[in-house]
């Protein structure tokens, strides 16, 4: 919204992550209040989020590909509604390491009273800066705070969604709230372990490198950007990787699709009826309403699912 709803997901992700990309600087988007507030998510994760928001109709694409807010998004921005979905949390901005994913134990046993207090503090900080509450910290971060009771800024580092910028900007405030609560209720700090990030494969054929990177969590869109090719070229490499006897990360393939759940179901049923190796019969079966690019994504998903 602050960028004028003229720009696509990649540019928005660059703004949120404080990128000094030429396009960001040319449009003076480094001066926006939202510049650099999203460092707790990787660019890949922001791309995942944008696709999720598109599928749930919180945003839409304009005539030239710019992202536009839809009416349901307003409730999210003012903090009265949450967005639910799945996202690969295996990588965060903690340098050289990946924070272990929030476990079901944490999500089931966090201190709800402390969580509510932290949400109020988050809303207060967000209102002061005229930004949405999630831009301070997402709910998942507050859940982990309400489970681990971190007593210092350093203890915040392993928590989901806490990067170095937000640790310095908000760390003292949230740690202060937690310490007061812990002292009053006799709570002790718990330590969260961290796991080493998967190392990127550098040898082997190109389809192997791309397939391994994709399965490690990289999106098709970012792989295309990194290798300087089109998304469809990455899909071809992933197909070669699959044909070589490997499995593919199914959720990563779905993230590359902008079809609704109903449309996906229609495509899958059409592949069941037709030859899944041939796109033209499926294209015709769906009354030519779904383009070939989307069909290629779903075709790879269909074939990969058969190998699971």
Q: pLDDT per residue over 130-141, tens digit each?
A: 887 877 887 778
The predicted pLDDT at position 160 comes to 74
Q: pLDDT per residue over 9-21, tens digit each?
A: 888 988 888 888 8
The predicted pLDDT at position 3 comes to 57
The predicted pLDDT at position 16 comes to 86
Output the DSSP codes for the chain: -TTTT-S-HHHHHHHHTT---HHHHHTTGGGSTTTTTTTTS-HHHHHHHHHHHHHTTSEEE-TTS-EEE-HHHHHHHTTSS--------S--SSTTEEEPPPPHHHHHHS-HHHHHHHHHHHHHHHHHHTS-GGGT--HHHHHHHHHH---SHHHHTTSTT--HHHHHHHHHHHHHHHHHHHHHHT-------EEEPPPPP-SS-HHHHHHHHHHTT--HHHHHHHHTS-HHHHHHHHHHHHHTT----HHHHHHT----HHHHHHHHHHHHHS-TT-SHHHHHHTTT-S-HHHHHHHHHHHHHHHT-
The predicted pLDDT at position 138 comes to 78
Residues of the chain with pLDDT under 70: 1-5, 40, 63-64, 78-80, 82, 84-105, 107-108, 193-204
The predicted pLDDT at position 106 comes to 73
Domains of the chain: 9-77 (1.10.10.10), 97-194 (1.10.150.80), 206-306 (1.10.10.1390)
The predicted pLDDT at position 156 comes to 92
The predicted pLDDT at position 92 comes to 44
The predicted pLDDT at position 107 comes to 65
The predicted pLDDT at position 256 comes to 84
The predicted pLDDT at position 95 comes to 40
The predicted pLDDT at position 235 comes to 93
The predicted pLDDT at position 282 comes to 93
């Amino acid at each position: 919204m602050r960028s004028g709803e003229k720009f696509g997901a990649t540019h928005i992700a660059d703004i949120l992550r404080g990128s000094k990309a030429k396009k960001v600087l040319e449009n003076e988007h480094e001066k926006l209040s939202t510049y650099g507030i999203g460092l707790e998510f990787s660019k890949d994760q922001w791309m995942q989020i944008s696709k999720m928001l598109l599928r749930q109709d919180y945003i839409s694409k304009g005539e030239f590909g710019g992202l536009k807010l839809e009416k349901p998004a307003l409730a999210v921005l003012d903090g009265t509604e949450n967005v639910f979905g799945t996202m690969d949390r295996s990588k965060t901005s903690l340098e050289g390491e990946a924070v272990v994913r929030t476990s079901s134990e944490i999500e089931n046993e966090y201190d709800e009273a402390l969580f509510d207090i932290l949400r109020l503090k988050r809303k207060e900080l967000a209102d002061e800066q005229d930004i949405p509450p999630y831009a301070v910290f997402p709910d998942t971060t507050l859940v982990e705070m309400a489970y681990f009771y971190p007593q210092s800024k350093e203890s915040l580092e392993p928590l989901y969604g806490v990067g170095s910028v937000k640790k310095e900007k908000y760390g003292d405030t949230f740690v202060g709230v937690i310490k007061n609560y812990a002292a009053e209720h006799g709570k002790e700090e718990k330590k969260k372990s961290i796991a080493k990030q998967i190392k990127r494969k550098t040898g082997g054929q190109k389809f192997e490198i791309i397939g391994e990177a994709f399965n490690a969590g990289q999106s098709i869109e970012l792989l295309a950007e990194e290798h300087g090719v089109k998304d469809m070229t990455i899909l071809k490499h992933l197909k070669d990787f699959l044909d070589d006897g490997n499995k593919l990360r199914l959720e990563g393939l779905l993230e590359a699709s902008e079809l609704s759940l109903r449309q996906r179901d229609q495509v899958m049923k059409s592949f069941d009826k037709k030859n899944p190796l041939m796109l033209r019969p499926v294209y015709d079966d769906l009354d030519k309403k779904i383009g070939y690019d989307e069909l290629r994504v779903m075709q790879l998903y269909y074939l990969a699912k058969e190998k699971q």
